[in-house]
Amino acid sequence: MKQKDVLSSTAPDLTAEAAAWLAQLETGKLSSEDMAAFREWIQRSPRHYAEIRRLAGVSLETNVLAGMAEPLRTAASNRKHLKRIEKPSRGRSFKVPLGVAGMLTACALAVAFYIQQPVTSSTPDEPIHAATEVGQTEEIALQDGSRINLNTDSKLDVAFVKAERSVYLEKGEAFFDVAHDPDRPFTVYAGTHSVTAVGTAFSVRWTDDELIVTVSEGKVVYDDGPPEKAAEGLKTAASKTAKPVAQKTFLAAGERLEISPVSQQEKIQQLPDQTLSRELAWRSGFLDFEDAQLRDVVREMQRYTPMRIEIADEDLAELRFGGVFRIGETDAFFEALELSFDVQVEEAGDGRLILTSAK
Amino acid sequence: MSSDISGRKRKGTGGIFSVFREQEAGLRRFLRRISPSSSDIDDITQETILRALQAEREREILQPKAYLYTIARNVVRDSLDKKSRSVIDFIEDFAPETVSSNEPLVEDQVDGRQRMLLFWEAVATLPEQCQQVFVLKKVYGYSHAEISKELGISVSTTEKHVAAGLRRCSEFLDKRSVRFGKESESASLQG
């Protein structure tokens, strides 16, 4: 950490210089004068070397952006409306022209999306009501330093009192990055369910009477009962002295709890890191699918569009599908289905979209 | 993963190779578009089918067409990585003796998809021309000379934008590492 502090006082200049040199190295042509100047620069101090070496590592890492080629290409055509299209013939699938202009439209949309500033509550302890429309997301900064990401078609109220931080999720999905405060448990209520934490990160989804809790950091306690119990349960968990009281469920990082609306049965799964980050990609404005059944993908996609998506045949529902899409750009999803997966997308005219196999 | 119980019709001897034959022209067009600098489109195409055949030996490929394009993208990614690593090697020749060279690379520390979205967020905050440059470079694998030509700007302007883009990505990476409680890791990278 000491080194970091030292760096941060001088970092802006050093980083700028290192970045400029690195960009020149990446061009690939260094004259002998340039080479001599570079040698002089990098040998000025170990920090000079360390900084350019660090940035070169970052540069290597950013190559991962190559994976955006496909989502961008599909977004680039930027169709205003989905039109009835003929069965795609073999070999024409990848003829969609990608000009820089189209690509930039896609970039501009991305900018417009990210520029949204987090909403900050003005006075302390004033209740906050937040809601999002279908296809919209929002970030909320709370006075205690906690942050909430609200996903599509969601509604919640925040009420902080002295002893407790309470959030009522009326519908939809929200991710909570909770500021640590052992004296004020942070509780999210959804229907009769509650999820409590003191300082951790987790998401709660409450749609169609189905509850899904996913923990990305720390641990939380789930309770299907009055709030006080949940808070007590957490203390029990923290002290690790008593056994967990019946009815309470403890969830650790990487775990997901699902409560079925019908049976009310609890199902807990350990999620691999990759799955976890995919499922929380919506916070960055993306939907990320990998090798998922089209049935599940459509169910997820449905949350972000007012159109009703229907899969016409059973075989198609089982198609394995993957891709990254921006929230609010559902057209790109349908286009990918048509172009890469031979699925025909037809608009029925009454707000329904029918997916059939094009084969 | 036994194919007996899948009940799915095995695709004769052709398999992914026949799909490749059908798709080859389209695949080449795709590669040329995402990576105009590749004078070695042939090599990439070759590499793609080799990897696909290898994968097919291990498991059944359900979406051969989509799968081929995914592999092609990975091959392009690998060639970008190769260039980045050669720059790193060049820099490491200047390593002072006091600096240990076996620090873990940043790439090992954060999940790939998460990183892609993180960098994409960073790119989205860049000014317009800078964004154009960075996207052409990192998403489409254009060289600096190709970017200059495409956008009608000088190579030194391109470099300026590349440097700015990289710094923004670096800032986002630091910020995210801290937010995810990995201060120690991000600090060690500064060393």
**pLDDT beyond 70 at A332:** yes
Domain positions in chain A: 2-63, 77-115+285-359, 118-276
Residues B119 and B88 in one domain: no
- A77-115+285-359 placed in CATH 3.40.50.880: no
Of B33, B77, B118, the CB nearest to A66: B77
Q: Over the stretch A194-218, which tens digit does the pLDDT of each residue have? A: 899 877 889 999 888 889 999 988 8
Q: Over the stretch A214-263, which tens digit does the pLDDT of each residue have? A: 998 888 999 886 444 444 444 444 433 333 444 688 898 889 999 888 88
The first and second tokens of residue B58, run together, are 């291990």
Please report whether residue B3 resides in a domain. Answer: no
Is A62 in Cβ contact with B169 (below 8 Å)? Answer: yes
**pLDDT beyond 80 at A36:** yes
Partner A contacted by B53 (CB < 8 A): no
Are residues A205 and A193 in contact, defined by beta-carbon separation less than 8 angstroms? no
Residues B176 and B126 in one domain: yes
CATH code of the domain in which B44 resides:
1.10.1740
ipTM of the shown complex: 0.76
The CA distance from A225 to A104, in Å, is 51
Please report whether residue B1 resides in a domain. Answer: no
Residues B113 and B150 in one domain: yes
Provide the β-strand partners of residue A345.
A355
Please report whether residue B2 resides in a domain. Answer: no
Please write down the HEC assignment for all residues of chain B.
CCCCCCCCCCCCCCHHHHHHHHHHHHHHHHHHHHCCCCCCHHHHHHHHHHHHHHHHHHCCCCCHHHHHHHHHHHHHHHHHHHHHHHHHHHHHCCCCCCCCCCCCCHHHCCCHHHHHHHHHHHHHCCCHHHHHHHHHHHCCCCCHHHHHHHHCCCHHHHHHHHHHHHHHHHHHHHHHHHHCCCHHHHHHHHC
Please report whether residue B151 resides in a domain. Answer: yes
Of A15, A19, A281, the CB nearest to B117: A281
Integer distance in angstroms from the first to the last C-alpha of chain A?
A: 59
- Of the three residues B92, B125, B141, the one that is the final residue of a domain is B92
Helices (H), A280-329: 294-302, 314-317
CATH among 1.10.3720.10, 2.60.120.1440, 3.40.50.150, 2.40.260.10 for A118-276 = 2.60.120.1440
Residues B110 and B183 in one domain: yes
Q: Which range of residues forms the domain containing residue B160?
A: 106-190
Please report whether residue B174 resides in a domain. Answer: yes
Is A57 in Cβ contact with B105 (below 8 Å)? Answer: yes
The CA distance from A52 to A49, in Å, is 6
**pLDDT beyond 80 at B185:** no
- Of the three residues B92, B122, B145, the one that is the final residue of a domain is B92
Please report whether residue B5 resides in a domain. Answer: no
Q: Over the stretch B51-89, which tens digit does the pLDDT of each residue have? A: 888 777 777 777 777 778 778 878 778 878 888 999 999
**pLDDT beyond 70 at B26:** yes
**Residue A289 confidence class, pLDDT cut points 50, 70, 90:** confident
Is A26 in Cβ contact with B162 (below 8 Å)? Answer: yes
Q: Give the nearest chain B residue to A284 (CA atoms).
A: B117
- Of the three residues B33, B62, B92, the one that is the final residue of a domain is B92
Domain tally, chain B: 2
- Greatest mean pLDDT among A74-78, A292-296, A320-324: A292-296
Q: Over the stretch B88-142, which tens digit does the pLDDT of each residue have? A: 999 998 888 765 555 545 544 456 677 788 888 888 888 889 998 998 898 888 8
